[in-house]
Amino acid sequence: MKILSWNCRGLGRTPTVHSLVRLSREEKPMIIFLIETKAGREKIERLRKKLRMHGCFSVDSIGASGGLALFWNHSITVDILCSDSNIIDSKVTQQDGSTFFMTSVYGAPVRTRRQDVWNRLIQIGGGWHIDWLCYGDFNSFLSWHEKQGGNRIGQRDIDNFKDLVNTCALVVIGTHGPCYTWNNKRKGNSNIRIKLDRAMANDAWSSSYLDVAVFVKPVAITKLQEGPPRDDYQKQEDCLISFLNEELDREEELWRQKSRVDWLQQGDRNTKFFHLTTIQHRSQNRILKLRAPDGGWIHDEGEIYDLMIGYYQEIFKSEGLEPLALNQVLTSIQPGVNDDMNSLLCAMPTIDEMCMALFAMALLKAPSPVGLPPVFFQKY
């Protein structure tokens, strides 16, 4: 199942609608959630027909601001449970009869009203032990590493958002793509970027849907690639790609270090932490597409498997050698290890050598065959 969420900032511009229709046809999502539509029900219904979706539900905009819309195709059934200007709460039934609850969120742009939205979400899913997915543009972030630039004000807003996540026992689903989802588009030191969009789920949903991932589309590059083939466009695209790669490397290293800290602090005392961490790592590490030798992208799981197997079979296959030539090469090589050195290398390691090797290992690297990391043997 694919779910597409987009803060379109108004459906009044034709390029926005065209981009949405094209994106829908490329990605083929089952559910589309639009934020800040700035449109009424009639326009949303016309858009549903363009998107070729089976059903839709909308919350009208207030004047020239706000507005939500939820679309779904014929393969699922969506029952709307409740809604307001910031939330559409629904129950999704799939073709196999399985169900889960889904809350599509648009966090209040005004910070003073944001807590009301969090209280509403806590009321909806705070006590649930059934499958629940919560996603959208929350207009808030969980820690300062999710913001770059600007002043560090608003710690209370961060703490309130964290309280929501903890109270509802939500787990952030791993994200692929640009680190930040909002940009004030100013230059130099005035530029501010924040991660406002995310998807979260409770333990029940995460256990039911193991192979999940969130992709953030790099819209700036997409727009450049759609433009005419000019030299300055290509130069801008190369700069953007380089920048995005640097940001991805930074985020990967940051979360790697952060996960080690959490592991040491919580791992031995909370088995649920192990379980949820494994689910998060799986969503991050899953290979969802590979570039084929002809330059195209492969998405099918079976084709990805065949491509990987074929690649390694090709680079590791033996083309065969002439026995006479091989023997001549081997006889011309002078041995670099004498008998004494060979005996020393083949000897059993001493206790001191094993201790030196053990304590030279990183605490959580290279687990033993029974799955225990070096820190266990170093301490016990």
SS3 92: strand
DSSP string, 8-27: -S-S-SHHHHHHHHHHHHHH
Q: Which of 52-66, 192-206, 252-266, 319-333 is predicted with the least confidence, judged by mean pLDDT?
A: 252-266
pLDDT of residue 269: 44
Q: What is the pLDDT of residues 366-378, one digit of tens each?
A: 667 777 888 888 8
pLDDT of residue 260: 47
pLDDT of residue 65: 84
pLDDT of residue 281: 64
Q: What is the pLDDT of residues 204-245, one digit of tens each?
A: 998 888 888 888 876 555 454 444 445 555 566 557 666 766
Q: What's the angle, vertex CA 151, arms to CA 180 and CA 243, rounded to 5?
A: 30
Q: How far apart are CA 180 and CA 307, in angstroms?
A: 32
pLDDT of residue 150: 87
pLDDT of residue 225: 43
Whether the Cβ atoms of residue 122 and residue 168 lie closer than 8 Å to each other: yes
Flag whether the pTM goes above 0.85: no
* Strand pairing category for 68-72 and 31-35: antiparallel
Q: Which residues contact 218 (CB under 8 A, 6 or more apart)?
A: 177, 178, 240, 244
pLDDT of residue 280: 63
pLDDT of residue 232: 59
What percent of the chain lies above the pLDDT cut of 70? 82
Tally Cβ neighbours within 10 Å of residue 201. 27
**Is domain 1-75 in CATH 3.30.110, yes or no?**
yes
Give mean pLDDT, residues 323-339. 84
Give mean pLDDT, residues 51-63. 92
Q: How far apart are CA 145 and CA 158, in angstroms?
A: 12
Q: Domain locations in the chain?
A: 1-75, 95-286, 318-379
On average, the pLDDT of the chain sits at: 83
Higher-scoring residue by pLDDT: 227, 181? 181
Give mean pLDDT, residues 58-81. 92
Q: Which residues contact 211 (CB under 8 A, 6 or more apart)?
A: 282, 283, 286
Two tokens at 221?
A: 């590059």
pLDDT of residue 261: 45
Q: How far apart are CA 226 and CA 233, in angstroms?
A: 10
pLDDT of residue 278: 59
Report residue 339's pLDDT band, with 50, 70 and 90 as the boundaries. Answer: confident
Statement: residue 182 has pLDDT above 90: no
Give mean pLDDT, residues 54-81. 93
Q: What is the pLDDT of residues 117-173, one digit of tens each?
A: 999 999 998 777 789 999 999 999 999 989 988 888 889 999 999 999 999 989 999
Q: What's the angle, vertex CA 19, arms to CA 18 and CA 24, rounded to 5?
A: 100
Give mean pLDDT, residues 344-359. 90
Own/partner pairs for 284-288, CB < 8 Å, 24+ apart? 284/174, 284/176, 284/213, 286/211, 286/213, 288/176, 288/213, 288/215
Provide the sign of the torsion angle of the four alpha carbons 185, 190, 191, 192, taken in this order.
negative
pLDDT of residue 189: 81
Higher-scoring residue by pLDDT: 8, 229? 8
SS3 149: coil
